[in-house]
Amino acid sequence: MNAAKLLTFLMLFLLSLSSALALSQESRPSLPKCGEARVQYTPFDENYAQKIILREAHNSGPSEPEGNKEYSPQRTAWVSPSSPEYSRPGPWNTTVTIGTMAGSKVLQLAFQDHASGGGSVQWLNEKLLFGHVWWGRIYSTDFILDVEKEQFIYKQMAHYGEMIEPCR
């Protein structure tokens, strides 16, 4: 008889324990699945407009800078990034020189006061550059520059906060 009472008590205890665990899990917000985290895009923050500067380069030297050049797919234009000295304390500045093989106007795209993630560009086609500049660990600007028209056709802020949150 004592064994039956002990077994009943044990079963009631386990049942109450599982109910308590279920209630505590319901009261906690569930973590998102790791594959569900997304970059959040918002309209361009005009506070950063003075930190992304496009201007005509006024060189007294050759029209093509020495150093690393990345060519457009048809090799009609090039970019030459100039990376900051990251061994010094930030924030940093990066300049990208943009030119054409025809030797026409040379442009400079400057990223002022950016974070250690830096700024980068890559050719989408012969006239469009995609760029990315980091302002912090989880905050950046994505843009598309029409090199022929010398204007930005896309600029948005990218928030990567969800990417660093805990997940399951």
Q: Are 15 and 39 in a shared domain?
A: no
Q: Are 54 and 117 in a shared domain?
A: yes
Q: Residue 10's pLDDT is what?
A: 67
The number of domains in the chain is 2
Please write the tens of the pLDDT for every residue from 137-158.
999 999 999 999 999 999 999 9
Structure tokens at 112: 């002022």
- Residues paired with residue 91 on neighbouring β-strands, in sequence order: none
Q: Are 85 and 99 in a shared domain?
A: yes
> What is the pTM for the complete model shown?
0.75
List all residues 6 or more positions away from 85 whose beta carbon is below 8 Å from its beta carbon.
Answer: 92
Question: Residue 5: in which H helix or E strand, if any?
Answer: helix 2-27
- What CATH number should be reported for the domain holding residue 100? 2.40.128
Domain range for 6 is: 1-30
Q: Are 48 and 130 in a shared domain?
A: yes
The confidence band for 60, taking pLDDT boundaries of 50, 70 and 90, is: very low
Q: Residue 54's pLDDT is what?
A: 96
Q: Are 53 and 130 in a shared domain?
A: yes
Residue 126 in contact with residue 148, Cβ under 8 Å?
A: no
Q: Residue 21's pLDDT is what?
A: 54
Strand order in the sheet with 52-56: 52-56, 107-114, 92-100, 77-82, 70-71
Sign of the CA dihedral with 57 first, then 63, 67, and 70 last: positive
